[in-house]
Amino acid sequence: MNECSFIFVPGMRIRDTHKETLVRKNAISILLRDGLDGFSMQKLAKACGISVGTLYIYYKNKEDLIVRLGIEEGKRMLQETMKGFSPDMPFAEGLKKQWENRSAYWLKNQEAAKFYEKIKRTHYAGPIQDEITKSFRPVMQAFVKNAIANKQLHFMSFESYWSVAFGPLYTLLEFENKGKSVGNRPYKFSKKTMYETLELVLKALTP
Amino acid sequence: MHILIFKTNVDTEEAHKEISVLLNAETSIIGWNIDREDIDKVLRIESRINNTTDIIHRVSTAGFFCEELPD
């Protein structure tokens, strides 16, 4: 059922987009601070300054809330990732675009990105991934297929490809997140280190 | 559609089953769930009509606590 299609009459409990934004922001903060086990609908309602009853108008339970927030955030992330990208791009150019978009999203939405990474490692990941990769996967598959056909990418297993193509980027973003790299060295993400790393990745992946 | 929210004491599988029989028989109800993880054991009902009083009466008669959670 489309949640937005509810028809309300005066005097009934009303959905309010301002409240939904408030709920989303607070839910992400609590989940990052207290973890999944420390998260409860009661705590969230209190943080938002709304009643538990109101919260349940929007969400059926904790699971419904986390899955829907995950889907929403995942879709936002993928939209950003696809900006100016096309599967027909030459491989090096397309991968560069992907790195630029992914890092820009991560740096602009740090809390949301951390939330998404966190729930990806939980049992909530299944329904979220199913929903958001529907449109994303065919595009990325086409990109890789074109690149191999055009001899711009070595043929390899999907896991080898992904870990080399994107693993290094997420390692740099993880360093940025901590403010430190290996051995507690202070680190600040920069385009310079990003492009430097990307160049090495392209050397490894391309014939 | 009306969304009706109640605080209950439905906290066991058995109690959940009893409530199921009662609510599934109610034709005005489109869907429902009880969040047994929550301290208020929140019963959430999607109903065609606003039958709050009737639901409280039915659930209470079956021997459970049931009170509307305010907005």
Alpha-carbon gap, residue A54 to B5, rounded angstroms: 8
Quote the longest CA-to-CA distance of chain B. 29
Tokens of B31: 């869907």
CATH number of A3-59: 1.10.10.60
Q: Which residues of A touch B68 (CB under 8 A)?
A: 53
Q: Tell me the ipTM for this assembly.
A: 0.87
Residue A23 near residue A55, CB atoms below 8 Å = yes
- Which of A135, A66, A143, A64 lies closest to A97, judged by CA? A143
Q: Looking at the domain A70-205, which fold is it?
A: Tetracycline Repressor; domain 2 (1.10.357)
Range of the domain at B32: 2-68
Give me the pLDDT at residue A8, please.
43
Nearest to A12 among B2, B44, B70 (CB): B2
Give me the pLDDT at residue A19, please.
83
Nearest to A53 among B39, B50, B71 (CB): B71
Give me the pLDDT at residue A15, please.
61
What percentage of chain A has pLDDT greater than the value 70? 93
Q: Which residues contact A79 (CB under 8 A, 6 or more apart)?
A: none
Residue given tokens 């409240």 in the structure block: A19
pLDDT digits (tens, 9 = 90+) for B21-67: 999 999 999 999 999 999 999 999 999 999 999 999 999 999 999 99
A142 pLDDT band, cuts 50/70/90, is very high
Judged against a pLDDT cut of 70, whether residue A1 lies above it is answered with no
The count of domains in chain B is 1
pLDDT digits (tens, 9 = 90+) for A112-123: 888 888 888 888
A7 pLDDT band, cuts 50/70/90, is very low
- Which of A64, A104, A114, A61 lies closest to A84, judged by CA? A104
